[in-house]
Amino acid sequence: MTHRQPVDPVARRHLWSHDEKSALVGAAREAPPRRIGCGWVVQVHDDVIDVFERPGVPVLGGDRAGRARLLGCGAVLANLEVTVRVLGWDPVVEVGGTCRTPDRIARITAHARTAPSRRERAEFRAVFGRPSVSEVDYRSLSGILMERLRPRVSGTGVRVRSLSEKGKRGWAGARYRPTSHSGLPGGCFAVTVDIETRPHLVRAGWVAQYLLLGAAELGAVGGLVTTPFAHLRARVALADDLLLPGLVELIVSVAVPGVPGLAAGGPACSAA
């Protein structure tokens, strides 16, 4: 998770206002909890935002290890990070807790005043499902999303594979394969991790959410495929079937409504 250099550092700590807290909580609630669990709590105080796991919350598919909760917390973290930027602050993200707060998933600190860019404002609109006005060649949608994502995933231990229609047809023999949006052209992205630690799972959910935000910003619709991946056997099998490194944690499916006969372009398999 990298951030640009702040342009206007301040010495004093920022105190979140009531309106800023409302914006942050509202953005957190827009993360996709229905598919990957909603076991999280957000605390906003002083100049920091803490995301905590709620271990007691039931998760899908008998996921006793809380893998789905960690993915969901990663999605919340992405929305909060986008919101901090649009509020005019450069966010510093620390993934993980301390010996006193082992249930803390991440902490975001408002580091310095920074004017939000046009792209960051567009990402914030995408949090609430509002696309930006942009003339995009949807035949290169997958390539655009991958290009935007590469700087974010660098050095995180999370990988993303963009699979074209050719790649999806190759899933016919796979034991566990996702289904795209019926009747809508688009692309699919496999999100994998090198190892399954708590920080890696949080980052996988974080990456998947940025893919969904990127799709929404460009006027596409996205969804998460998580149902078979609660079982380790499924995560290993799909990675083997698709010749992917690591373990597949989820699939992000992107569809382009209103463009009949047009599928997301790009090579059969590109990597970030």
The pLDDT of residue 168 is above 60:
no
pLDDT for the residue numbered 223: 81
pLDDT for residue 1: 59
Does 208 map to a domain?
Answer: yes
Average per-residue pLDDT for the chain: 77
Q: Is residue 41 within 8 Å of residue 54, measured between CB atoms?
A: yes
Q: Report whether 24 contacts 84 (CB < 8 A).
A: yes
Task: With H, G, I as helix, E, B as strand and everything else as coil, classify residue 91.
Answer: strand
State whether 149 and 122 are in the same domain. Answer: no
Residues 19-45 have a mean pLDDT of 81
**112 and 41 inside one domain:** yes
Of the three residues 97, 127, 157, the one that is the final residue of a domain is 127
- Residue numbers of the domain that contains 254: 138-271
Residue 2 located in a structural domain:
no
For residues 264 and 143, state if they share a domain: yes
> What 8-state DSSP symbol labels residue 115?
P
Residue 1 lies in a domain: no
Residues 148, 118, single domain; the answer is no
| Residue 125: strand, helix, or coil | helix
* Mean pLDDT within 129-155: 78
In a domain, 242, yes or no: yes
**Percentage above 70 pLDDT, the chain:** 72
User: Is the same domain home to 157 and 120?
Assistant: no
* Whether 164 and 215 share a structural domain: yes
Return the exposure string of 52-63: e unless at least 16 CB atoms fall within 10 Å of the residue's CB, then b.
bbeeebebeeeb
Looking at the domain assignment, is residue 44 inside a domain? yes
Overall number of domains in the chain: 2
Tokens 């708590």 belong to: 198
The pLDDT assigned to 186 comes to: 56
User: Do 39 and 106 have their domain in common?
Assistant: yes
CA–CA distance from 244 to each of 189, 204, 266 (Å)? 12, 15, 18
Last residue of a domain, one of 71, 98, 127: 127
Angle at 195 between CA 60 and CA 189, to 5 degrees: 65
Asked whether residue 175 falls in the same domain as residue 101, the answer is: no
Residues 101 and 167 occupy one common structural domain: no
- DSSP letters for 142-193: HHHHHHHHHHHHTTTTEEEEEE-HHHHHGGGG-SS-----TT--EEEEEEEE
Residue 114 maps to a domain: yes
What CATH number has the domain bearing residue 247? Answer: 3.40.109.10
Q: What is the pLDDT of residues 204-250, one digit of tens each?
A: 999 999 999 998 888 888 888 766 777 888 888 888 877 888 888 88
For 82-101, write each residue's pLDDT tens digit. Answer: 999 999 999 999 998 888 88
Q: Based on the fold, state whether residues 31 and 120 are members of the same structural domain.
A: yes
- Residue 3 belongs to some domain of the structure: no
Residue 138 in contact with residue 221, Cβ under 8 Å?
Answer: no
Considering the domain boundaries, does residue 171 fall inside one?
A: yes
Minimum mean pLDDT range among 2-11, 27-36, 66-75:
2-11
